[in-house]
Every structure is written in structure tokens, then in C-alpha cells.
Structure 1
Amino acid sequence: MKHIQRDVTNNEQFLESLIKEEKMNHASISWKNENAVEILPTQIKKMGTIILDIRPGEAELTNRKGKQAQLIMPITHVPTIDDVRLTLRQTVKTHGNDITGCSFLPDGRMIFSCYRNCLISVLQTNGSLHFTLKPGFRTSQIYYIEESQKLVVTNGSNHNCVKIIDMKSRKTEKLIDVGSENYGIVHKDGKLYCNGHKGGLRVVSLDEDSIIQLVNATLSRYSSIAIWSDKLYVIGNDDSVICCDLQGAVKWRLELNTFLKSARGITVNNCGYVYVAGFFSNNVVVISPDGNKHRVLLSEKDGLDHPQALCYNQKHNILLVANERKNAFIYDVSK
């Protein structure tokens, strides 16, 4: 304890010296024009005056009733899970009877995959149909790779192949055998992370076509995967939400079977908040970045009817929620 007190005292003295010597002041330099600037240049003897303005910094060192001195800094509000608010922006009509995946294009257009109809539809920002793609097999989940303008399409339990479609030419560029069923899929740094159901969490290298099993555990069939920074978010076979790093080490696991029934869609915002859709519970739950807190955001009263697909547009802070059929909803999300 003595060495801690000694270190605290030394740091306190150091901070006091900074304030006394005015080394934490804010300095600004401004320019003041002279009236002579408005006359001919040959008559100008003085262009102006440089003003150095020094103001005390906002830091304050206080010592209350003998307590250890503290450096008081301006308080910045940090958003919590209770600050997350959704405002309905738009309702769009989807095409097909089994919408299992959704995504955004950079210009705001929406992509939906329909499993039963073996169909991918692209909708304009106003909800009208732009064009459709027919990959030739059932389409489970989709992921758009913005850098290469490629669309990755999985096919569920029908084939072990993942299809890569060039969205510029709208033609199939590549087929990759992942060696298992395949549902949710995401991309990062030339690698695909895929929900292989009983095959676990699988990683496919696009350069080498090599496949490894990152997590040897059964994942929820039909469910998607989310990625944010260096973390992956998957749904376990028991509807638990699992966060792991890119090497497969589990960071946290949250069991939500009281709130979520048949969790399928999962996505994450740019602050690490996780959104999960319950297919049979007809709701969307948000989870804090550390996995310690959660609350229900949307339910049946908001029009949810077997929601399967979610996608968060991190650039515009909007959330896309798609029911199994008929409707999808676009929400503005408070920051």
C-alpha cells in the first residue's frame, strides 16, 4: 500500500505542477485586420496584429476533505443499451415466401434471398423491384463484399457449395465446396466465415480455397453470422448467442431461450451492440457489447411475423428486419 500511496502522491504533484506552470492551458492565435488593408498596397505600413489568446484548461485538480486529489475532466455521455431507440422509416414488400437473408448495397438498395423460390431480389430504395437473380439452387444466406462488389450466397442443406456472384455482370464467378451444410456467412480479409451447422464454424480462404474448422460445435441451423472488428457472433444450437474472436476463442455466451425462440437473424452495429431475431418468438432483442445486458426492441405489435433476416447498415445507422414473407421494415437507430 505504501508504494501505491507514494506513486499517487508523485502523480498528484506532477499534475499540480502542470497546472501551476500553465502547461495545460489552451492557446489560440487569431488575426485582426487593420483599416489600412483597404487602401492601396503602397500605402500599407501595417498589415495587422497577431493575437495570442491563452485560456485556462478545463482540467481541475480538487482535494475534498482530505481525500486523495483527483483530476476532474469534462464528462462525455457514453451510450448504453437503454439509449438504443428504433424509429420506423419505411415498410417494403418482399418477393417470395421464405426470406432467409438480407443485405444492403452501398447506394442503399436492398438484397433479399428467398430459400423456397431459389431467388435473389434487389429492391430500389423506394421499395420497387430492380432486378432478380436465380442462382440455380436454394438460396439461404447472403453477404455483400463491398470492396470486390461480389455477393456470397449459401444454399443451406441442399448442396455443400457456396456461390460467388459478380454483381456488376450478375454472373456466377465461382463455386466453393465448403464440405458441409452452409447457412450464415460473413467476409473479412479474404476469408469467409460460415455456419456449417453440425460442421461448426468454418473458415474458407478465397485465395487458396482451403477450409478449416474454427469452432467444433453444432450451430443453429438456418441462422446467420455477424462480424464486427475482430469478433464473430453466432447462434448456438440451444439459441444461445456466442461471441468469439477470429481464432475461435469464446469471449462470452448468453442464453436467451426465455426471450428468443428459434433465433435466426443476427447483426451488429458499429458500437458492438448485437441484434437478434426470434423466429417463433416474433421479436428482436438487442444485446450489449459485453453480453451482460439485453432487452426486447421489437415484437408482434410492431408487425413482426416470423422474422428471419436482419442487417445493420453501419454507415447510415439503419436496421433492416425481414419477416419470412410479405414485409420488411427499415428502422432508424438512435446513436
Structure 2
Amino acid sequence: MSSKKTKIVKPVGSELDLCTQHREKYIKYCSQHESPCCTKCTTEKHVSCKEVISLDDAIHAFKGSVTFKKIEKSIAATAKNIKQIRKENETSVSGISEEKARIENEIQQARNKINKHLDKIQDKMSKELVEATNKAKKKSSDLNDFIIEMERSIVEQQFKIDKVKKDAIDLQSFLSMKATETELNKMDKTVNSIINDGEDGLISINFNLDPAMENLALNANRFGHVTMEVKPFLSKSIEEISLDLLKPINTQVKQTEGCCLLDNGTSVFSDFLKDRVTVLSENGEVDVQIPIKSSLHGLAVIDSQTIAVSPGGSAPHAINIVDIKDKSIKKTIPVNSEVDGMVYIKDNLIFCARGDGIRKTNLTNGVTATILQCNLGQFANIANFKDKLYVTDRDEHTVTCCDIKGSVLWTFQDTKVLQRPWGITVDKDGNIYVVDWKDKLMVLSADGKRYKQLLSAKDGLKSPTTLFYNKRGNQLLIANEKNTALLYKLV
């Protein structure tokens, strides 16, 4: 929950019918200025106004008006939402202990699995140790038997020498000594072989810990990470989504390719034909038109007063960073391809590069890299939700979802549903909205498996090209190719 909370001020009932300036009771109402008036107000400020009526008449008219019914409906909807939020919050609180128990059980299962695996490794290691020990003992024992045999032979040869030394040397003694010499040469070679060849020697057994086990001991200092995830209240699946039209907008743009809706109600449109960005105030009036030297396409919101504008299909190929408050271009980023849709994520602009796929450029260091290499067609658009990207390709009739590293997760393709998918955006619950140039607004589920049509030509869609979801206002701005846009609230 945000640390900033709106302070709710309750009006004092006895003060509502008094003029704040003159401290007199209201008796009239000026429809022109939408203001209640006391006697002094009427004579001082509204004497020339033609739509000053009695307060009773204004009250009677208001009770039956569309505005009154809208307020009444809004109060009922707000009360329902608050009740649902409280219910969801209570369920969430009661579920925290259950989640804790589940996580503890998961950790214990992981511990048991690790213990079982370590026991298995230890048993295998123990068997290998026994085999190595037996082999070492046998080799030492065999060598010892051989050495004992050599010692016996040495004693025997020594005995022969002693006998020859006592007795006269005759033919038999001579031959015996020669035989002894031959035998001693063989024994000497064998002893040298034992000493020098390295195949025999003092035997011991050693143990070298596997690096993987050592790394486990040194690096695996936790079972995982415990995090707190905040999910939005009143999350809706696509089956529950409906739209409430807030107002139509005259964009005064002949070919709109990109749009965005800022938190202050300002709407921004890229004018493909006149090479400029048109900024409309909340009441729909033109605030400023900023010229840019290229056929503009996509828009990406960087902050409350800064947007990025893609160069579309004409040279020079450069992304422009525009300050709509100062009405100036703050920065120009050259790119090597035609660029259509864009989205801003953590100091990076991620954009659709025609023929090259999905690329990104860092606004701080200027480094550009490819996320997903593919032959992306013209007027492709992109949106994001958390660590996922969603891209439309009108020529292939597809919506593709990939992660931020470029691994494709799923692709939606059904020409009965989407014939010319163009603009794309994602709401706070991860539902994906796509405008089809064939006068349709579709919403896809986060997994790309389900879909639902929300709007059609009878709702005012006429070759829609782009749309934008504003999270703070829970509003959806949809722009037709020419002149008009529609602002909806998700309900």
C-alpha cells in the first residue's frame, strides 16, 4: 500500500447551504458557471448570466439528470468495490498463515530430498571406499608375499656362496656360482623395477572432495528466497471485464500510429502524416503540437512529462526523447533500423525493429542489444507486464509473448479472432488488449489461451491503430486511424 493516503474531509452539513464568501444562504443557481449563488453573488458576479435559475428548480432538475444517476451509480460501485477489497484483504490475511505453513513444508521437503540424496551419495562413497581399501590391501599383501619369496631366495643363494668359500672350487661349484649370479641379476632387476618403475610402492588411500559438494557447502547458504508479493485488489479475468465509455476525443490527427495517456489526464498522439506529436489537455483541447523530422509511429512514456517517439519507416532513423512540458526534444538516439512500437522499462527503451526483431537501447550508456532476432513486419507494436513482452505482427496475424531475455513463451494466431492486430497494451492484472484494424478490440488472457471481444464498429471503432492502458486511472485510451479516439474506464 502506498504511504501516501488521501485525506477524506467530511463537509459539515450546516455549512453547505451558506455562501463561503458572503455567509448568506444560497437561493439561486448559475447553470453557466455551475455555481450556487446567494443574493450578493447574483448581483455582483452573475448579473449578466442568462442561465440563473432558482435553487429549487436546479435541485429538481439535478435529481432527474444523467449526472445525478451517474453519481448514484458511482457511489454504489465504489461501495461494492470497498466491500470486495475488505473481503479480499481479510481472505489474504487469513491465508498468510497457511502460506507460511506451506512454505515451511516445502522447505522441509527440500531438506528431506537433500538428505536422501546425500545419504545415497554417502552409501555409494562408502562402497567405493571399501573397494579401494580391499584393492590396496591385496596389492600390498601380494607385494609382501613376493618380497618374502625374494628374501628366501637370497638366503638360499647366500648359503651356496658360503659353501663354495669353504670347499674347493670344482666344476659343480663353478656352475652353481654362475647360476647364482644369473639369479641375483634377475633379482636385482626386479628390486630396481619395484623401486623405480612406480607401479609398486607404499600404498595409501586418499579422498578428494568433489568441487560440486564443496560449492554446495560454501555457496548454498539458503534454501531459497522468501518474498512478499503484492497482487492488485479486484483482479479480473477476461470474462469479467467490461468497459464504460467516459468520452470520445477529437484528436485532430489524420493518421494516428501511437498514443498514450498520462496520469494528469493529458493524452498524446503521434501524427504519422504531419510529422508531429499532438498533446491534448484533459478537456480535449490542443495543448501543443511538437514537430519531429520523421514519420512518427510509436510512443513510450518515460515519466510524467517525458515521452519517447519512434521514427517509423522513414529516415532519419532516430528515437527522439521529447519533453512535452518544455515542448522540446531533449535527446536523439540514432538507430540502425526502422522502428515501430516501443515500451520503456527501467532506463531501457525496448522497441520493434522492422526485419530485425525486438531490440533495446539503454538511455544512460547508449548500449543497444538484440532481445529476440526475428523478421518482424511493419507496424509491429509492443507492450510489457512485469518480466514479459507482448508483440503484435499484423502480417503474420499473431500476438507473441516472450520473456525479457527473448525466450518465446507462447504465440496466439487465429485469423477468425485477429486479422490485422495492431496496437497492444496490458492492464494491471496481466490481461492483454489488442486492437484489430478490422474494427475490433480483443482481450486475451495472460496465458494466451482465451479471448473475448469487447468493442466493434458499432461502438465507434474505425480502423483502430493504437491503444494505451493507464494504470492509475484504470483507463483505456483507444485511437482510430483518423481524427477520433475513445476513452474508457475498465469496470
Tell me which interval the TM-score lies in, with the shorter structure as reference length: 0.7 to 0.9
Pick aligned residue for 2:259 from 89, 102, 112 = 102
Verify: 1:273 aligned to 2:448, yes or no: no
Task: Measure the CA separation in 1 of the matches of 2:299 and 2:324.
Answer: 12
Letter in 2 for 1:152: A
* 2:338 corresponding residue in structure 1: 181
1:142/1:185 contact within 8 Å kept: yes
Q: Secondary structure at the match of 1:331?
A: strand
Confirm whether residue 82 of structure 1 aligns to residue 263 of structure 2.
Answer: no
Map of 1:154 onto structure 2:
310
**Maintained 8 Å contact 1:241/1:255:** yes
Matched residue type, 1:124: S
Superposed displacement of residue 106, structure 1: 2.1
Alignment-derived partner of residue 196 in structure 1: 353
What displacement does 1:137 show?
A: 2.1
| Superposed structure 1 runs of 4+ greater than 4 Å apart | none
Q: Show the counterpart of 1:111.
A: 268
Structure with higher Rg: it is 2
Q: Is residue 2:321 matched to residue 1:142?
A: no
Conserved? CA contact 1:109–1:122, under 8 Å: yes
- Give 1:112 deviation, angstroms: 0.6
Is contact 1:220–1:239 with CA below 8 Å preserved after alignment?
no
Deviations 1:188-240 (A, max 9, x none): 11111010020110111111211111111122311321111111110134121
Q: In the aligned structure 1, how far is the partner of 2:362 from the partner of 2:414?
A: 32
- Comparing 150-159 with 162-171, which one deviates more in the overlay? 162-171
What does 1:1-335 align with in structure 2 at a 5 Å threshold? 79-146=236-303, 149-159=305-315, 160-236=317-393, 237-279=395-437, 281-334=438-491
1:319 Cα offset (Å): 0.6
Please give the per-residue CA displacement for 1:296-332, whole angstroms capped at 9, x wherever unaligned.
Answer: 1111111111000100111111111110012100111
Gaps of 5+ in 1: 1-56, 60-75
How large is the RMSD of aligned CA atoms in angstroms? 1.8
Q: Distance in 1 between matches of 2:472 and 2:323?
A: 23
- Please tell me whether the aligned partners of residues 96 and 119 of structure 1 are also in contact (alpha carbons under 8 angstroms): no
Deviation at 1:114, TM superposition (A): 1.0
Mark the CA change 1:137 to 1:78 in structure 2 (over 3 Å): closer, same or farther: closer
- Alpha-carbon shift at residue 96 of structure 1 (Å): 2.1
Could you tell me how far apart the structure 1 residues matched to 2:331 and 2:246 are?
A: 36
Q: Residues of 2 paired with 1:196 and 1:294: CA distance? A: 27
SS at the partner of 1:184?
strand
**Separation in 1 of the partners of 2:424 and 2:271?**
17
Kindly indicate whether the alpha-carbon contact (under 8 Å) linking 1:193 and 1:204 is maintained by their aligned counterparts in 2: yes
Deviation at residue 256 of structure 1 after TM alignment: 2.9
3-state SS of the aligned residue for 2:458? helix
Shift of 1:78: 5.9
Measured in 2, the distance between the counterparts of 1:316 and 1:90 equals 14
Q: How far off its partner does 1:58 sit?
A: 7.7
Question: How many angstroms apart in 2 are the aligned matches of 1:223 and 1:320?
Answer: 18
1:23-65 CA distance string (max 9 Å, x none) = xxxxxxxxxxxxxxxxxxxxxxxxxxxxxxxxxx989xxxxxx
Task: Tell whether the 8 Å contact from 2:479 to 2:486 is kept in structure 1 after alignment.
Answer: yes
Aligned residues: 260
AA in 2 matched with 1:258: K
What is the CA–CA distance in structure 2 between the aligned matches of 1:77 and 1:273, rounded to whole Å?
A: 13
**2:322 counterpart SS class:** strand
Which has the larger displacement, 114-123 or 219-228? Answer: 219-228
Mapped contact 1:220–1:235 kept (Cα < 8 A): no
Identity, % of aligned positions: 30
Residues 252 and 484, structure 2, Cα contact 8 Å, conserved in 1: no
Distance 1:285 1:83, change over 3 A: same
So what's the TM-score if we normalise by structure 2?
0.51
- State the Cα distance separating 1:187 from its structure 2 match: 0.8
Query: Which residue identity lines up with residue 401 of structure 2 in the other structure?
Result: C
Query: For residues 354 and 254 of structure 2, what CA distance do their matches in structure 1 show?
Result: 23
SS, match of residue 252 in structure 2: coil
More strand by share: 1
**2:263·2:470 contact (CA, 8 Å) conserved in 1?**
no
More helix by share: 2
| 1:202 partner letter | R
By relative contact order (CA 8 Å, sep 6+), the higher-ranking structure is 1
TM-score (norm 1): 0.74
The whole-number CA distance in structure 2 between the counterparts of 1:132 and 1:256 is: 39
